[in-house]
């Protein structure tokens, strides 16, 4: 159980915060180093969605590959450290809102949160990335004089950020539930504006998909399910 720390002196809180920030940075440092040794595998993994598309890659600087590996190692080091970072944040901040917060509650929250985050990464990689690649490459299909030569770093970082955006979207239930708890948004409000929100989902999907209904529906379905999950777990405040 985590004890209430509200009676601690201000500087004790600062010292605790400093220690937790150090742990977070140390975690990122260790995971980034470990990830660097698998950077070739990561690059290959990120290139796989290209499949049969006629795309070729190039590097423009002699240091490009090294910088790409360093950047990817840092990004994936942060991603792998997220459970530790989130845990340190929760342990530090939750006692300010509740008198008694059990470690079990924190680990339950972390587990579900990480599960949704990983689901978002998987959805981004296997759904959003292939759809977006096919869409953007199809724009030049009728232009036979254009060769699809992309810089490797531009492609890799586009794929990575698309996956991260997808994983953040999958945090929608947690965001809405927190907003509900602190009184920013209500369960009835979301129910009342359900149609407008679904329309907003289709508009959002249009930015990442070809202009065909099937692709947009594939993207909107998980968004709608996440939205309904949020409403289900919200508390009504009449």
pTM: 0.78
Strands (E) across the chain are located at: 56-58, 149-151
Query: Ramachandran region of residue 51, left (φ > 0), alpha (ψ -120 to 50) or beta?
Result: left
**Beta pairing, strands 149-151 & 56-58:** parallel
Q: Is the pLDDT of residue 64 over 70?
A: yes
**What local confidence, expressed as pLDDT, does residue 141 receive?**
66
Q: What is the pLDDT of residues 69-85, one digit of tens each?
A: 999 999 999 999 988 88
- Nearest CA to 191 out of 135, 146, 222, 234 is that of 234
* Domain parsing of the chain, residue ranges: 1-170, 171-238
- Nearest CA to 126 out of 199, 222, 229, 197 is that of 222
What mean pLDDT do residues 206-212 have? 70
Q: Is the pLDDT of residue 98 over 70?
A: no
């Amino acid at each position: 159980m985590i004890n209430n720390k509200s009676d601690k002196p201000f500087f004790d809180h600062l010292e605790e915060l400093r220690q937790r920030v150090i742990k977070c940075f140390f975690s990122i440092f260790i995971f980034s180093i470990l990830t660097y040794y698998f950077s070739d595998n990561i690059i290959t993994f990120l290139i796989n969605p290209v499949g049969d598309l006629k795309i070729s890659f190039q590097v423009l600087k002699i240091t490009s590959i090294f910088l790409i590996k360093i950047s990817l190692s840092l990004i994936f080091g942060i991603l792998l450290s997220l459970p530790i970072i989130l845990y340190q944040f929760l342990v530090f901040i939750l006692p300010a809102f509740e008198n008694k917060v059990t470690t079990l509650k924190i680990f339950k929250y972390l587990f579900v949160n990480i599960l949704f985050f990983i689901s978002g990464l998987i959805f981004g990689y296997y759904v959003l990335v292939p759809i977006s690649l096919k869409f953007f490459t199809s724009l030049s299909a009728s232009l036979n004089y254009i060769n699809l030569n992309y810089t490797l770093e531009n492609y890799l970082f586009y794929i990575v950020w698309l996956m991260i955006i997808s994983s953040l979207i999958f945090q929608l239930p947690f965001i809405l539930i927190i907003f509900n708890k602190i009184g920013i948004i209500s369960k009835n409000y979301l129910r009342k504006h359900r149609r407008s929100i679904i329309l907003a989902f289709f508009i959002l999907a249009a930015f990442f998909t070809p202009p065909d209904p099937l692709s947009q529906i594939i993207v909107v379905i998980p968004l709608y399910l996440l939205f309904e999950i949020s409403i289900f777990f919200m508390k009504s405040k009449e």
